[in-house]
Amino acid sequence: MKALVMTEYKKLTFLDVPTPVLEKPKQVLVRIKAASICGSDIHGFDGSTGRRKPPIIMGHEASGIIEAVGASVTRFKIGDRVTFDSTINCGTCSFCTSGFPNLCDNRKVLGVSCDEYKQDGIFAEYALIEEHILYKIPDSLPFIQASLTEPASVAAHAIARNQPILGEDVAVVGSGLIGLLLIKLLRPLVSGRIFVLETDGSRRDMALKCGADFAVDPRDANLVSWIAEKTESHMVDRVFEAVGATSSIGSAIDITRKGGTVVLVGNISAKVDMPLQKIVTRQLTLRGSCAISGEYPTVIKLMASGKLEVQDLISKTAPLSEGQIWFDKLYNREDNLLKVVLLP
């Protein structure tokens, strides 16, 4: 089969590699129809994260058709249209059996190669997928849009970690892909206002189109007083931080009301500085949000029904063979791209 292999950092080669063969009775072989590029793939592209050591077939956001099934597969058949979780959980550890598969002690992520394991991903014509992380998609949901089920589910899980109450004001810090998906999912949930903090002007415009009431530059020296004026000094009840850097987390904390909650979704930085006194003296709650924990079926229903529209977030579709071109553009932040979907 053809695959896009990162043979060295920042170098992707379109190669002939062996087609995967079913290794376990509960596996299926999926013919990949659409594979989207995640921000974590871009961050791993230069080796800075240590999570994608070459050679590796990267990628974990995809959809496709089942081509073969293992002997013990019962819920799927050849020809089923599917998408799948990015995290392979073991199903037997204490976290898995307690309903937290995203925190699995033995978790592996598709398209990751690190010190602990190597797991090839989906930038290829075929991929082996475990049955328990598969989900059927209806005929009404195109493969390209379905490849965004994974990031949409990441956003949905973050909301589940900080469920808004009717009438509350909420804020999203960062309007990259996850931030925009958060806005789209929050809009029908809240009757309060959605504030967005974003440094890029075009992304602020996109945030407004996706349902935000206000989109402002967090570098504005009057940001906190402006939020206070808009909220009659109450500030924002719940904040979703979708960047993962010291400055953006600081902004999120600054606009959160006393006793409020900040969910940390972004993680581009391994370490950040925290304004500890603000957190302690205002009794803020900080919650991490990791991956996905059961949100796939809901997100698939929302996408298939048209209640969650993602087509406007897709900047480009391109052949898998052009992967190097589009990785370079995303890495260099060219053309203000949001989501690029590669087609094997």
Provide the pLDDT confidence category of residue 50 given band limits of 50, 70 and 90. confident
* Least-confidence region, from 212-216, 224-228, 333-337: 333-337
HSE value, Cβ hemisphere, 13 Å, CA-based, for 326: 25
pLDDT-derived band at 337, boundaries 50, 70, 90: very high
* C-alpha to C-alpha distance for 318 and 150, rounded to whole angstroms: 19
Per-residue confidence band for 319, with pLDDT thresholds at 50, 70 and 90: very high
Angle at 271 between CA 334 and CA 163, to 5 degrees: 85
230-257 average pLDDT score: 97
d(CA 273, CA 340): 32
Which runs of consecutive H residues, i.e. helices, occur in the chain?
39-44, 94-97, 143-146, 149-160, 177-186, 201-209, 223-230, 246-254, 276-281, 296-305, 323-331
pLDDT of the residue at 56: 97
Q: Which residue type, as a one-letter code, is found at position 219?
A: R
Query: What is the pLDDT at residue 125?
Result: 98
Taken in order 73, 76, 82, 86, the sign of the CA dihedral is negative
Phi, psi angle pair for 310, to nearest 5°? -120, -10
Please check the confidence at residue 48 and state whether its pLDDT lies above 90.
Answer: no
- Number of other CB atoms surrounding residue 269 within 10 Å: 13
- Specify the CATH number of the domain 162-288: 3.40.50.720
Task: Delimit the domains of the chain by residue range.
Answer: 2-152+292-343, 162-288
Helix locations, 175-222, DSSP H? 177-186, 201-209
pLDDT > 90 fraction of the chain, expressed in percent and rounded: 97
Identify any residues that bridge with 136 across adjacent strands, giving them in sequence order: 82
Model confidence at 52: pLDDT above 90: yes
User: How much is the pLDDT for 268?
Assistant: 83
pLDDT in tens, 54-72: 999 999 999 999 999 999 9
Distance CA 77, CA 68 (A): 8
Class in CATH terms, 2-152+292-343? alpha beta
What does the alpha-carbon distance between residue 296 and residue 85 come to, in Å, rounded to a whole number?
Answer: 8
Q: Is the pTM of this model over 0.75?
A: yes
Which of 180, 131, 134 lies closest to 158, judged by CA?
A: 180
On the CB side of 134, how many CA atoms lie within 13 Å of its CA? 24
Which residues partner with 36 through β-bridges? 61, 341
SS (H, E, C) 245-294: CHHHHHHHHHCEEEEEEEEECCCCCCCCCCCHHHHHHCCCEEEECCCCCC
Predicted local distance difference test score (pLDDT) of residue 269? 84
Report d(CA 137, CA 121) in Å as an integer.
20
Average pLDDT, the chain: 96
**Cβ(95)–Cβ(151) below 8 Å:** no
H or E element: which one contains 112? strand 112-113
